[in-house]
Amino acid sequence: MSQQELSEKDLIDKARKPEQVAVKLHSFYHGKMQTMLKSQVRDFDDFANYYNPGVAGPCRIIQADADRVYELTNIWNTVAIVSDCTRVLGLGNIGPKAGYPVMEGKALLFKYLGGVDGVPICLNTTNATEIIQAVGWLQHSFGGINLEDIASPKCFYILSRLREELTVPVWHDDQQGTAIVMLAGLLNSLKIVGKSIKKVRICLNGSGAANIGTANLLIAYGIEPGHIVVVDSKGILHPGREDLEEQKREFPDKWHLCQITNEGGIKGHLTEALKDADVLISCSRPGPGVIAAQDIKLMANDAICFTSANPVPEIWPWEVLDAGVRIVGTGRSDFPNQLNNSMAFPGIFRGVFDVGARAITDEMCVAAAEGLARYAEEHGLSEKHIVPTMQESEALIHEAVAVGMKAQELGIARIKISRDDLYKKSKSIIVASRGMHDVLVSSGYIAPAPE
């Protein structure tokens, strides 16, 4: 049965089914992650080597040379997944306890896809200053910080401050991860339709963390800001938006986009923004029915639409195609061209950690997007394959290598390593991580999932 033959109710029920299965699995396993040994305990005498008194040796070395902590501990491969749980999935502000399963799930993806050890940290504060202070206190226990599900607009301020103040790489997946996958998909879609990224008009529907992050990365890539039109719930962003001018201290990133985007001075709402647009990237509220097919018909020939709301896109993909669009992407795995940030953050941090990068820059994010796009192109571009799928796990290794090489080029890597050796290193860690999972399952130490 085709997607078109399914009723909207069937599709929505299908989208909600994972929630039912998830409750059963979470209850059965009592969570998703645990702490495991990575060093061999040969006999009980090894306790004196790994702990007291032998551990004083590496402590003294690190005291004399702080960077040796990356050699003598697992900090180099450990990321803190920090959230105040104010913007969790489509659930909103649900609090640190209710948000914990999401952060634990993020840790599972980090480990299985990227071989990275993630630690969920759900903070019992929603105050931006306190979040910054808490992360600052935590930074010396981790090789990197992944900010997650923090509400806009404070998420922009928190990321900016932490990138300035911390000595470890800081990343906000809702901004940067989404932006990387959108850029990768856009690069390959434009190759298929034969349009220049320097000339296309791009409409961003939604002005939360995802689309502001996407706008920033598109501009960092070299797209003219004036070729981008951003739409929020009240209309198109432009310098005359008095409501945003009055709130520019609260929404500085949004107000900045008012100043630099929309060179044509278009006013109105999404309908006006879509007229003759080549690209629509929508990260707004779940559909269907949020975007009208008649508005999609206003776009240019061979248009590209990424409607990425979850769990249901703003408009069904077949409606977009029937409206004349050439390429469609969504956030769902049951439609072609899933644009999922899970194809970004595991590879990003794998590359960051494997070269000991001190930061995650816009240039590294661009390199990640280009790495993903290149992998998809090498494995056969089509209108239904513009980015690698979750099954193409090799793509994450290529992304990691692209990120690690860029960090070395920028002079912010502690480790100098060749491309070939970096590929081998990244691959071996990811393969080992999955191998350990498989061994634990086959041996029965991870119980079979219930039917």
The average pLDDT across 206-227 equals: 95
The average pLDDT across 16-22 equals: 82
Among residues 100, 106, 375, 423, the one annotated as catalytic is 106
How is the chain split into domains, by residue range?
Answer: 21-174
Torsion of CA 210, 216, 217, 218, to 10 degrees: 100
Using a 10 angstrom Cβ sphere, with 0-12 exposed, 13-18 middle and 19 or more buried, the burial of residue 110 is: buried
Provide the H-helix boundaries in 222-332.
Answer: 242-246, 252-260, 270-274, 293-296, 317-322
What is the pTM for the complete model shown?
0.93
Whether 29 is catalytic: no
Among residues 17, 24, 50, 51, the one annotated as catalytic is 51
pLDDT one-digit tens code per residue, 223-262: 999 999 999 999 999 999 999 999 999 999 999 999 999 9
pLDDT one-digit tens code per residue, 317-330: 999 999 999 999 99
Q: Which position has the higher pLDDT, 7 or 121? A: 121
Choose the CATH number for 21-174 among 3.40.50.300, 3.40.50.2000, 3.40.50.10380, 3.30.450.20. 3.40.50.10380
pLDDT given at position 42 = 95
For 31-168, list the strands marked E by DSSP: 78-83, 117-122, 144-147
Whether 423 is catalytic: no
